[in-house]
Structure 1
Amino acid sequence: MSKAGIRNATQIRDTRSLARFGITSMQVRLDEEESKRWVSQFVIAGRSYQMQGFADLGRPRGADTDVILGVEALFAVQGFPQDNTVVTSGYQLAQAAHLPDNGRTYERLRDSLLRYWRTGFIVREGFEVPGQEAVAYYNETLGFFEKISFWEQGQRGRGGDLAQGSLSRDKTLRVVLTPEFADSLRSGFIHHLDRELLRNIEQPPARALYRLLSAHRQTDEGHMQDSLTVSLQDWREACGLQDSRASKVMRALAAAHDELTALGYLTAVDTIGRGQKMELVYHFRKSGDPDPVLVQQLLDANLGLSLVVAQQLAREYAPHVEHGIQFVKNRQAAVANGGKPVVNPAGLLRSALKEPDRYLLTEVQVRPEGTVKPSRKSQEALKRQEQAAQEELETQALELQELPAHLQWQKCRTSLKLLLQRKLTSDEWKTLEQRCVVGELSAATLLSAATHAAATLDLQDYVTTLKFQLK
């Protein structure tokens, strides 16, 4: 097998059918007895899934996701051999699974491979019998591996017996896939995983969730949906989470949600309802969407930008955003050395991004003390540009104010949500939405005030006042 083939691959071909069942739990630790036999029944995107799992070594979990994806990647790189056999080594499998080259990894590889070998499951599909109330069920037993041949590194114990060791790093490892698993990978019913994204996801539960989301996000026709709505309890079953309490499920998902959002795979995760009836709405980043990391950098810079403006700048001027932020920060820092105060940092940033060559953004450096101040002419020109940018923002705000109340809410909802929703209870957010839609509150005014409060570090005081208004 070519090592370069694995390193240079940009995608991993994953079976959509098996991935949708969520056989590998995203939990890192499971109750061993419960994980040896389980039943999953759930509905995702209108499709019903029923499965019984049997695993005498325990259900695959956590980092086992990396191992099965590594095996799939090797199977594809080797050309989907007709004998369904992956011939590799512990080191090559570790590389394909994005795992570090150390002793603990080879212990994990051994345990993970054996768990998949000993995991079988029955999938069910129901059929109504015409003219009768009875339902006939078609059952099919499936599994991952037929056979594993591997060398083990270990030491003899005191009694002379060979203690359990770890998978050999360099000796030959053979994994024979079941015909069903191999055929599923060869078929067109697959989904591709972004290898670079997988490499950047740090936590195994987030990688497991990414795999599950990717499988369910793609329709049978291959279309990638922009959003996916799931019942929390159905999603718990699909994720292999054992605790059914809504608060525990959300806590188990929270870190994975945050990581996938930070990496730009998700743009938001909305919740609808509460408790056992809660639904999750996953919003996926689409082609052409702004880089969420750049958007967050623009907001964190506290230059007075609304979310909408930050998204626009990140989309249109992505290569220069970081330099632009540093440029404005340098101008603000220069005030201590006698420089002119920056009246409108947001306007200055917009002007700089529109004319990067003029502002030399590619050569931005923190200005050391004693540097020659800008000439009066350049200061006056910059002030005019700042004033023009401020006038543009004020014009946009006035246009927004003139819209009907329900359209104001539609335009401002996403920005207000980013600024306020985590600081408001679900009931307060609903009240805010209702009062904005009917015109009791102006969404445009709220957004302007909240954005200004965030820029001046007064957001918490503003939220306290807003909570009082909503009572």
Structure 2
Amino acid sequence: MPERKPRRSAGTPPMPEITSGYDELNLGRLALISGQKTVPITLRRWQKQVTTPDGRPVIITCTVPEDQVVPHGLDNDFMVGLVNLCFEAGLPDGPFSVSAYGLLKASGFPDSAQYYRSLEESLVRLNKASYTIDEGWFVQGPHGWTTQSFAQVSYLSYARSRAGVQGTSVVTVQLAPPVMESLRAGYIKPLDLNFYRGLSQPLVRAVYRQLDALHFDESTADGLVRELSAPLMAWGNRLGLLSDRPDNVVRTLTPAHEELQAKGYVAAVEITGRGRDKVVRYVFGPPPQGEHPDLAALLTARGVKQGVAVRLSTVFPERIEEAARRFDHYLKVSLRPVGNPGGLLVAMVQRPEDFAELPGYSQATAPEGTPPRKAKAGRTTEESIQESDAYVAQEEERLAALNGTDLVDWMLRQLSVLGILKHFTVPERTRLAEAVLEGTLDGRHLVRAATRAMVGGAPAIGAVVQDVRAHL
């Protein structure tokens, strides 16, 4: 007999359909949940090595209690649902609650008894599974790659009847602190939930999620990776495939490859080599357009990389037009040439509070409830220049007062915007931060030198990098 759907009471609030969403980049890239639909019931621990986009080897360990099995299959989908519901809840400091029906819909599943059972089992696994990530969890700031130990769902509470979890059951969760910190810091990427949910199997969705996380890379010329290659066995291990036979890994991945090609996400998949030396190569399809191509176009027209523009226009659509207006105004009144216009505009989108008071700027639109700033009538060019000079002096005073980790954060942020930071290895970045903290290197002087070097092109930039290395 077909399963009956559990009744949903009239009191269950309708759940809005979430079609455009986000993925936390660490979760997307590290693939903490096996993509396999099922795993052996005795599998309570695994350890794997993955590589970060900048080539760092990372060891990840997952362990669960004796009465559990490691997260797998649909657990990926429920975690994606939780991340996006957390955004809908406003990234709260503590736990947030949702109906089981709401979580089911946010995860892309039908309202049936089968999926309510899967939901309960997944939540328990996500709460019970402990992960240790050895220097592979990225944190915005001077430390970069960190070691973290956590459960993806650090707190879990839910109500159930004798029949199990029902649509009206209230589920209360809190995501792991490092996940929340990363979400608040904006270390996220757009995730096309319509496309994601339209994929047929957990493994197809896991492959897509992994590829999509690696597709966005701000270190490339346009913010997007055009193709991706990896040793086949390492790629299978990254996705949580348990087989150690290359032919089995190829056989397992083939349906996912065929589906992603049929949908146009990847233009080609090639597997070359013999035996355990096989390599898989993905060629991505047309660049993603995002939910707001017009907003992305505002950014790219002003020098922002395409991949970055897609990400920002999806994550912060309400900020783009105002940031573009502020950016255009800044270029007109600035007494200094802007070495990295795209980087400046990205900063204006990500941290609008840092650019709240631009000289001579009258805010065209303001958030609801914010009193508009009064425009000064009859402003002359001389007055604008004087106000601009005052603004520069105020900024110099603010920078002079920075010290300790605040100075390190500012320096790293500026070097990243200028495109200088990518020339240093991760250990060098750590030593750079330590040198500034110890006072053996002047972070302000370094940023000024890097800014001047932008005019001289690659040779001047290389000279600055070598000079810094000599002091580390």
TM range (shorter): 0.5 to 0.7
Note the C-alpha offset of 1:4: 7.9
Return closer, same or farther for 1:171/1:193 CA change in 2, 3 Å cut-off: same
TM-score for both structures, normalised by structure 2: 0.53
Equivalent position to 2:51, from 43, 60, 68: 43
| Partner deviation per Cα, 1:319-368 (whole Å, 9 max, x = no partner) | xxxxxxxxxxxxxxxxxxxxxxxxxxxxxxxxxxxxxxxxxxxxxxxxxx
The residue number in structure 1 matching 2:394 is: none
* Uncovered stretches (5+) of structure 1, i.e. residues with no partner: 127-136, 155-164, 290-471
Alpha-carbon distance in 2 for matches of 1:188, 1:52? 26
Query: 1:174-193, aligned counterparts within 5 Å?
Result: 174-193=172-191
1:21 aligns with 2:30: yes
The residue type paired with residue 88 of structure 2 is V
Match runs of 1:146-295 below 5 Å: 146-154=154-162, 165-219=163-217, 221=219, 223-287=223-287
SS at match of 1:180: helix
- State the alpha-carbon separation in 2 of the partners of residues 106 and 114 from structure 1: 13
Residue 93 (str. 1) matches residue 103 (str. 2):
yes
Letter in 2 for 1:193: L
Task: Please tell me the residue identity of whatever aligns with 2:161.
Answer: Q
Task: Give the equivalent residue in structure 2 for 1:322.
Answer: none
Q: Is the 8 A contact 1:117 1:144 kept in 2?
A: yes
Check whether the contact 1:21–1:49 (CA below 8 A) recurs between aligned residues.
Answer: no
Letter in 2 for 1:72: V
The aligned counterpart of 1:53 is 62
Aligned to 1:31: 40
**Percent of residue pairs identical:** 28
Once the two structures are TM-superposed, the CA of residue 199 in structure 1 deviates from its matched residue by 2.4
For the residue of structure 1 that corresponds to 2:178, the secondary structure is: helix
Q: SS at the partner of 2:204?
A: helix
Contact 2:134 2:147 in 1 (8 A): yes
Aligned residue number for residue 74 of structure 1: 85
1:377-396 deviations in whole A, cap 9, x for unaligned? Answer: xxxxxxxxxxxxxxxxxxxx
Shift of 1:189: 1.8
Alpha-carbon offset, residue 238 of structure 1 = 0.8
Deviation at 1:185, TM superposition (A): 2.1
Do the aligned residues in 1 keep the contact of 2:15 with 2:105 (CA within 8 Å)? Answer: no
Q: 2:15, 2:102 within 8 Å by CA — same for their partners in 1?
A: no
Q: How many residues align?
A: 265
- RMSD of aligned Cα (Å): 2.4
1:271–1:32 distance in 2 versus 1, CA, 3 Å: same
Conserved 8 A contact 1:13-1:185:
no
| Aligned equivalents of 2:125, 2:288: Cα separation in 1 | 41
Which residue matches 1:333?
Answer: none
Paired letter, 1:109: L
Question: 1:225-256, CA deviations, whole angstroms, 9 ceiling, x for partnerless residues?
Answer: 11111111111111001111001111111111
Larger Rg, first or second structure (1 or 2)? 1
Q: After the TM superposition, which residues 72-471 of structure 1 pair with which residues of structure 2 at under 5 Å, given as runs?
A: 72-83=83-94, 85-125=95-135, 139-154=147-162, 165-219=163-217, 221=219, 223-287=223-287
SS in 2 for 1:117: helix
